[in-house]
Chain A
Amino acid sequence: METNEIAKVASQVRRDIVRMVAAVSSGHPGGSLGCTDFLSVLYFDTMNHDPANFKMDGEGEDLFFLSNGHISPVWYSVLARSNYFPVPELGTFRKLGSRLQGHPSIDHHLPGIRMASGSLGQGLSCAIGAASTKKLNGDDSLVYTLHGDGEMQEGQIWEAALYASARKVDNLIATIDYNGRQIDGDLEDIISLGNLSKKWQAFGWEVLEMDGHNIDVIKATMAKAKSLTGNGKPIMIVMTTEMGQGVDYMMGTHKWHGSAPNDEQLASALGQLEETLGDY
């Protein structure tokens, strides 16, 4: 998709995010806004997928796993705007009986979701499993993931990192949202990740770095990542982002990781984000 068209999607997705969390006074807008450009590119440009005919097994399709499930608002919006389910359903987010649970779930049968997430550190292992099954089935489509940077503090991530490299899981493209912030504060002050790219290189992964807010760069990096698959190495993209990107008062702080704007703050946010595809 053309870059200006993806930018329109991203602007609308950001409006969806702030409206969704404001409506229920809960949820995680900061990381959602930071990953909006990436997920818009992934779903509208990078992945080969069939939104209108969602099947759990996803044979012949690229798969995506959201490991940091708390940024469900951005995923739900991108899924709805991609035609996985009706856009007006975004208005049910976090409400009783909704398919749009606070964190992504399976038992509510929301099209587009293949694995529950929320408890951190598990998505990479699940993606490795799905990628291994694709290989067994002779299915040459790819598996994508997204992780939080704070999530790198979970031990299971590094179990998965070792395994994917040792077993040459080279149909897997993982991405880390490196915004440097987590609930309790700046990541550097909580538990530093040191040199994150070098760590993944040392674990035997092919590592790319990209600016997570430049749509052209994201498109090009994802294309490059695809071209590197099948070479015996799993691929990790370390993506630099700004938590709260697009809403001025949510940027430069960790405070909007898990807080929703009030009416006045919502109005301010919507004033900064163009309505491009129509609000739900």
Chain B
Amino acid sequence: MTETIEIEVLGKKDTRSGFGEGLLEIGKRNKNVVALCADLTGSLKMNAFENEFPERFFQIGIAEANMMGIAAGMTIGGKIPYTGTFANFSTSRVYDQIRQSIAYSQKNVKICASHAGLTLGEDGATHQVLEDIGMMKMLPNMTVIVPADFNQTKQATIAIADHEGPVYLRFGRPSVPIFVKPDADFQIGKADIIIEGTDVTIIACGHLVWKSIEAAKALSEKGISAEVINMHTIKPLDSQAVLASVAKTGCVVSAEEHMINGGLGDSIAQLLSRTNPVPQEYVGVNDTFGESGTATELMAKYGIDTVNVVEAAEKAIQRK
């Protein structure tokens, strides 16, 4: 019988609010931080920064391509621009601008993207980008971060200011449990091992980290010991954390609110196929667009819920 899993829940909030608080905090600490927004200040929770530092806040209007170019140019002379809009408009709409003016030009821009994935809910598939992690991780020079809860999003927002180079920071709309400690030391590229286990490794990012914690509890009741890793940085991937865990468990499940194609699971598979091939199961959206509905309904319908992580873990173990 495995031990009872105890993860303290510190409250419930949306990750975008963590971004808003983090932006205000880093704005106070670093006068070179500037913020740009394409007509979604309220949705991105950037109002506090705007009110505190109006001279460092730039309302661009509904012109995301222009926003990315302006952000790139603002780095010349030492500013650290944080752009804010929905994840879809932060990536697919402006991919070429990011590619040429930010990634290829090595500009110190922080692309902050809210309402990522299915959980933005009722707005439907036009806004539910599920390809953004893949697009962004393919760009040379780009760091890709998907924090798991409010506290971690706040910590990551602050931490990326000290990282020289372009960053994609992805967060979301729904209110989700907070379990990362407010004083945790967030380090880019260093995964958090949340639950230690021996039978299966579950590696998740974003909203799927909490689902994976729930899954580990359910698995524990079935006598299965699951290790849960919060892989908040997709690129650079914490290879050591993956390899050390898999060496112990012998199989892996990746879990993400993203297309299976091109996501976190792909990065893990690429690493393992070259070093330690083990059975892997994927929890993610399988080559389909989303639709309108509540976040809860959509996670269930599209197979990115707790039960899916449990099933994937059992399947991975069977394949060992």
Q: Which residues of A are at the interface with B, using a C-beta cutoff of 8 A?
A: 56-59, 63, 65, 105-107, 114-119, 121-134, 136-137, 139, 155-156, 159-160, 162-163, 166-167
Contacts and interface: CB of A to CB of B under 8 A. Distances in A.
A106 B101 CA distance: 10
Interface stretch (B67-75, B113-121, B125-133, B280-288): B67-75
3 pairs of A and B residues whose beta carbons are closest in the complex? A129-B73, A125-B69, A133-B77
B76 A58 contact: yes
Given A136-B56, A156-B65, A129 B70 contact: yes
Given A156-B66, A159-B63, A133 B74 contact: yes
Contacts of B79: 133, 136
A121 B56 CA distance: 25
Given A116-B100, A132-B70, A132-B73, 19 more contacts: A57-B76, A59-B77, A105-B104, A106-B106, A107-B104, A114-B76, A115-B101, A118-B100, A125-B69, A125-B70, A126-B70, A126-B73, A129-B73, A131-B73, A132-B58, A132-B74, A133-B78, A156-B69, A163-B63
Given A162-B63, A163-B60, A63 B76 contact: yes
Interface of B: 34, 55-56, 58, 60-61, 63, 65-79, 81, 96-97, 99-101, 104-106
29 contacts: A59-B78, A63-B76, A105-B104, A106-B106, A107-B104, A107-B106, A115-B76, A116-B105, A119-B99, A122-B97, A122-B100, A125-B67, A125-B68, A125-B101, A126-B69, A126-B70, A126-B73, A129-B70, A130-B77, A132-B58, A133-B75, A133-B77, A136-B79, A137-B78, A156-B65, A156-B69, A159-B61, A159-B63, A163-B61
A156 B106 contact: no
Contacts, number: 115
A117 B79 CA distance: 21
A119 B103 CA distance: 14
A63 B74 CA distance: 12
Name which of B34, B61, B63, B68 has the most chain A CB atoms within 10 A of its CB: B63
Contact of B104 (A116, A123, A156): A116
Contacts of B101: 115-116, 122, 125-126
Contacts of B105: 106, 115-116
A65 B76 CA distance: 12
A117 B100 contact: yes
A244 B204 CA distance: 57
Nearest to A56: B76
A122 B69 contact: yes
Nearest to A169: B70
A162 B61 contact: yes
Given A122-B100, A122-B101, A136-B56, A160 B77 contact: no
Nearest to B94: A156
Name which of B56, B68, B71, B104 has the most chain A CB atoms within 10 A of its CB: B104
B99 to A, nearest CB: 8
A76 B105 CA distance: 17
A127 B73 CA distance: 6
B67 to A, nearest CB: 8
Nearest to A113: B105
A196 to B, nearest CB: 20
A137 B58 CA distance: 15
Nearest to A105: B104
A137 B106 contact: no
Contacts of A119: 96, 99-100
